[in-house]
Amino acid sequence: MSSFKQAFTSSLGKKLIMSLTGLFLCTFLVVHLIGNLQLFHDDNGKAFNEYAYFMTHFPPIKVVSYLLYASIILHAIYALVVTLHNKKARPVKYAVYDGQANSKWNSRNMGFLGTILLFFIVSHMYSFWWKYHRDQVPYIEYRSDLNSGSTQTRELAAAEFNDYQNFTDNGVEVVRARDLYRQVEFAFQEWWLVAFYVIAMVALSFHLIHGFRSAFQTLGWNHKKYVPLIRFIGIWGFGVLIPIGFAAMPLYFFFCK
């Protein structure tokens, strides 16, 4: 068996691929959260809509997005393979099992947590990514007076312009874009969708707390010098701050908009 094939089929190879794709997805979460913070700007969605256009049309980011899709698929497939392999290797549960003594709840339920997150990703991409790319979101025009700083908005029909425009007309900056902000605002008026997002972020928290440290452990970064820092970042960064940041967005639109 070639070393390349073994990397994809051996137990260690599968865990290595899961670790690398998982860390790449962690990096994406940080970038995605920073970008989505534009939703909190009090500008009728102008900053967020410009950010959405940039993220979907800047060539280098489009290339990275394909790597992201591949990472999600690989991470999910190899997680399923590893889970099934572990169950096959130990088909009978121990007669006496002390969960606290052997492993934590999230480490024993990564498959369950990952399933919730997979459903969340599919729902999230359909509600926003798919509708954005399939031209199923509204359009908006921003007219900002460069002297006074005031901005006026109006809805547009898609036929009035081609995808995105940004120009200056007699001291007025005009921006025309797809109004993904309005789509987000509309979606998060549904209480069940907001509840689903919050539950998914709880699942994300537990998943990241275990997965972040496990990824570094698989890569051999298990030295006592680095473990405390990795644990701190995994718990407080990826286990607390990032899920809270994402959960705050649907809650903000549901209760404040």
Instruction: Tell me the pLDDT tens digit for each residue of 140-172.
Output: 999 999 998 899 999 987 656 667 889 998 899
Interatomic CA distance for residues 127 and 179, integer angstroms: 13
Q: What is the mean pLDDT of residues 82-105?
A: 57
Q: What is the pLDDT of residue 93?
A: 47
Q: CATH 3.40.630.40: does it fit domain 3-137+180-256? A: no
- Percent of the chain whose pLDDT exceeds 70: 88
Q: Is the pLDDT of residue 3 over 70?
A: no
Q: What is the pLDDT of residue 102?
A: 46
Domain range list for the chain:
3-137+180-256, 139-178
DSSP 38: G
The Cα-based distances of 242 to 35, 54, 216 in angstroms read 12, 22, 19
Cβ atoms < 10 Å from Cβ of 112 = 15
Instruction: Tell me the pLDDT tens digit for each residue of 48-77.
Output: 999 999 999 889 998 899 999 999 999 988
Interatomic CA distance for residues 150 and 153, integer angstroms: 10
Pairing mode of beta strands 172-178, 139-145 = antiparallel
pTM over 0.75: yes
Q: Where are the alpha helices (DSSP H) in 10-133?
A: 11-36, 46-57, 59-89, 99-102, 105-108, 110-124, 131-133
Higher-confidence residue: 108 or 213? Answer: 213
Interatomic CA distance for residues 165 and 213, integer angstroms: 44
